[in-house]
Structure 1
């Protein structure tokens, strides 16, 4: 039985290193958008290169995050976590030194691989190492500190870009990793999981990531010529079909198809795809809009985005508790509608936008919608499966959200007519932004309609979230596998108060 106590020196070091490792990924998911205009200017990059700067990372992270958890179960969670931190740091160093957009994009893809290894491993280490009496509190602290990291990301990114330069957005990860790795090796006990036997679904992971990469390429490079785009798009669809075939016929698939047999699980993931596609497109374009059109500095743009993540950090746990009483259908319907209203309010943001009058009201409405929606969404995903599959269900939901975001970042510039240099022209970018926000709002409204039509109150004896405090806007919080011995709790009981 795991026996590390939270109050012990080893327990504090264990929590510190897992928070530090996962915090690098959470920070990176929010700071890069603010740096994009400066990256484009310094590297003479096109809009497509900026899209790939975001999406190369998301392709490998979304495609491999389920495999990352399985690798930890097989080879040891600490070992895979440390490997992920090292890979993330090495890729961050290369990002910071990148002389061309191509090198930056390749390094971002490697960053995503590191993130896929360390993100599930950090939570799994906590669940596998701490004494059962301390596990809930440790998970609550892990998710809370991670939420703080995600919340300060845009501000920190803006400060770095305005001060030392955009390269420090990536170089900052190197000293954090240098601190994290030796602490993990010295203080974190090794552990393996219940899935330590059987074959890895490497083929499934490769096909899933390849399908995402090819479809993303076809969307981003759609103006490059019909033939190459048609070929890559068809290849992406073929890879997606092959992925489905492999997962259906393997004995130990990465993504068991029968998990979608439950109507509730499928419905909530459809809602997830709609809302996180909207969020991915919104935050990518808004970070550019505030700088390119409104004339904000990177620091001002990063600070401007703080209200959404701050609201989530402050009120996500209360939102989850409220949804327990009302059921998930109401918050999963009202939340996306509030977000859609906030998205449309951003149409007021143009040249010389006044922050209190034009920007802040929209972000407050958007943040209120995210508070209303995200915690109940996670709870409903977990409650739609058996306890033993809670970690898998959360991983699928997290990967679906990231995949939806990357496809939105790829598709929105195409759908709104943004040219390769649109982000260098305030007039052209503003016009395209005004066409993009209604599309984001439409995706959110579709999510609300799906939730109202399909989501129902789950049974009371299903798994409950352990990560209740969070501030991440790019994906729902990741829950781990229930620890050996079970995590089943009676209806309404919580592992922590987060």
Structure 2
């Protein structure tokens, strides 16, 4: 691979594909009421519009990342775009509950292929300072895509239809397929066996774990934890493991996986619960509750622009901890604020701090998750990074819903939610402090 002098179209392909899958998941949050009305869904079936996507996304991430290493990332990436585009068409044209849920599950598989493969393509395509900047933009895309999805979902649902947000994926996916075939180079493939048993176990474990958490079934959760032990014992025995355990030998890398998990425990809960509180307490429309996240989204975007220079000056570890501290501060201020103060004083100001922290945390976490990894393992490391991102959300949200379901007063409910979110981020902060060298530059 030659050193690049410009990013070229490859970075656009990587970032836009990642943006699409993250934005698409957030659109659901501000569109659920309209979806339930159009398809006559009850609350139980409506929850599976999100759950079906989350389960397959989390379940296939490791396998998809490893297949890119073993079969070539270009063809695997194109396959993911095709599945994502076709399933998005099915979601947008859904006429029944069953069709909607099945299409969302298939869409999750497409996203599971795109997410780790896009990051691995980035690692293949750039070196040195260009790679550092590209990872910064990739991490920023994770936060901006999720936040912007709330805004776009609210606007499309109010102005046109919730279906448009999914149907737009079809021409975008086709464009990305054409550009990928024309501009992305195939990575060098080293022949190796495929860990079929590990692949099967990883899918079963992820599906069981997310499903058990989603329906609060302790027996299923315990079964998935037992299978994790079986999986790790199997991975330790073979030389062609789905998750090479050497990925965990680096303390900083391991800490970043845990911190990313706790980050999504906090943030998915925040993105999911806050629009509901805004609509109930401030009587915001879906569009207004989406635009209410603009302070977070704009500051996140601005912070990302300064991130490469900041990382060069301080080093990835220090920026990562700084971002975590700022994010934790913003959430703590949200916790002690009173929602009765009104949107601006109770939420908007705090969102600016949260956006700054998010903008300076996600990219360093991404960089740490793939730091020092050999090219033949970059897909596995990318898959593990994205798996932690995807699985943390439903775990955190399910825990919060389980312990807050009896809350009736909206103000008390808000403070309970923010207390959980603050604790999740505090755990992430402690993990980063104990796993990162303070003298790193």
- Give TM-score, length-normalised by structure 1: 0.75
Map residues 136-215 of structure 1 onto 2, 5 A cutoff: 139=134, 143=138, 146=141, 152-185=148-181, 187-188=182-183, 191-194=186-189, 196-215=190-209
* Secondary structure of 1:258 counterpart: helix
C-alpha distance in structure 2 between counterparts of 1:437 and 1:111, whole Å: 31
Map residues 330-479 of structure 1 onto 2, 5 A cutoff: 331-346=319-334, 348=337, 350=339, 354-383=342-371, 392-417=380-405, 431-457=412-438
Deviations along 1:371-411, one digit per CA (max 9) or x if unpaired, are 34333333444446568756644442232122111211232
- Asked if the contact 1:57–1:111 (Cα under 8 Å) also holds between the matched residues in 2, the reply is yes
Of residues 330-339 and 304-313 in structure 1, the stretch that sits farther from structure 2 once superposed is 330-339
Map residues 19-30 of structure 1 onto 2, 5 A cutoff: 19-30=15-26
- Asked if the contact 1:216–1:410 (Cα under 8 Å) also holds between the matched residues in 2, the reply is no
Measure how far apart 1:299 and its partner are: 1.4
Measure how far apart 1:200 and its partner are: 1.9
Give the match for residue 64 of structure 2: 68
C-alpha distance in structure 2 between counterparts of 1:142 and 1:350, whole Å: 33
Q: Relative to 1, partners in 2 of residues 1:375 and 1:174: Cα closer, same or farther, differing over 3 Å?
A: closer
Give the match for residue 89 of structure 1: 85
Of residues 22-31 and 145-154 in structure 1, the stretch that sits farther from structure 2 once superposed is 145-154
Measure how far apart 1:173 and its partner are: 0.9
Map residues 288-299 of structure 1 onto 2, 5 A cutoff: 288-299=276-287
Give the match for residue 483 of structure 1: none
C-alpha distance in structure 2 between counterparts of 1:429 and 1:219, whole Å: 25
- Asked if the contact 2:266–2:425 (Cα under 8 Å) also holds between the matched residues in 1, the reply is yes
Q: Relative to 1, partners in 2 of residues 1:211 and 1:368: Cα closer, same or farther, differing over 3 Å?
A: same
1:78 and 2:69 correspond: no
- Asked if the contact 2:317–2:438 (Cα under 8 Å) also holds between the matched residues in 1, the reply is yes
C-alpha distance in structure 1 between counterparts of 2:132 and 2:394, whole Å: 33
Deviations along 1:412-468, one digit per CA (max 9) or x if unpaired, are 2112126xxx9xxxx5666544322101111111222232333214766xxxxxxxx
Give RMSD over aligned pairs. Answer: 3.6
Number of positions where the alignment pairs a residue of Structure 1 with one of Structure 2: 439
- Asked if the contact 2:69–2:379 (Cα under 8 Å) also holds between the matched residues in 1, the reply is no
Measure how far apart 1:17 and its partner are: 4.7
Measure how far apart 1:50 and its partner are: 4.6
1:218 and 2:215 correspond: no
* Secondary structure of 2:31 counterpart: helix
- Asked if the contact 1:154–1:302 (Cα under 8 Å) also holds between the matched residues in 2, the reply is yes
Give the match for residue 290 of structure 2: 302
- Asked if the contact 1:35–1:161 (Cα under 8 Å) also holds between the matched residues in 2, the reply is yes
Measure how far apart 1:88 and its partner are: 0.5
Measure how far apart 1:5 and its partner are: 8.5
C-alpha distance in structure 2 between counterparts of 1:193 and 1:119, whole Å: 20
Q: Relative to 1, partners in 2 of residues 1:83 and 1:459: Cα closer, same or farther, differing over 3 Å?
A: same
- Asked if the contact 1:6–1:138 (Cα under 8 Å) also holds between the matched residues in 2, the reply is no
Deviations along 1:127-179, one digit per CA (max 9) or x if unpaired, are 6568x899759947974995765553322211111122222221221222233
C-alpha distance in structure 1 between counterparts of 2:3 and 2:255, whole Å: 39
C-alpha distance in structure 1 between counterparts of 2:172 and 2:439, whole Å: 41
Give the match for residue 485 of structure 1: none
Give the match for residue 261 of structure 1: 249
Measure how far apart 1:333 and its partner are: 4.4
Q: Which runs of 5+ in 1 are unaligned?
A: 223-228, 461-498
- Asked if the contact 1:339–1:441 (Cα under 8 Å) also holds between the matched residues in 2, the reply is no
Q: Relative to 1, partners in 2 of residues 1:235 and 1:405: Cα closer, same or farther, differing over 3 Å?
A: same
C-alpha distance in structure 2 between counterparts of 1:263 and 1:144, whole Å: 20
Q: Relative to 1, partners in 2 of residues 1:281 and 1:49: Cα closer, same or farther, differing over 3 Å?
A: farther
More helix by share: 2
- Asked if the contact 1:277–1:440 (Cα under 8 Å) also holds between the matched residues in 2, the reply is yes
Of residues 208-217 and 400-409 in structure 1, the stretch that sits farther from structure 2 once superposed is 208-217
C-alpha distance in structure 2 between counterparts of 1:145 and 1:359, whole Å: 21
1:235 and 2:223 correspond: yes
Q: Which runs of 5+ in 2 are unaligned?
A: none
Measure how far apart 1:317 and its partner are: 4.8
C-alpha distance in structure 2 between counterparts of 1:137 and 1:266, whole Å: 19
Measure how far apart 1:47 and its partner are: 4.8
Q: Relative to 1, partners in 2 of residues 1:204 and 1:377: Cα closer, same or farther, differing over 3 Å?
A: same
- Give TM-score, length-normalised by structure 2: 0.84
Q: Relative to 1, partners in 2 of residues 1:443 and 1:332: Cα closer, same or farther, differing over 3 Å?
A: same
C-alpha distance in structure 2 between counterparts of 1:272 and 1:397, whole Å: 8
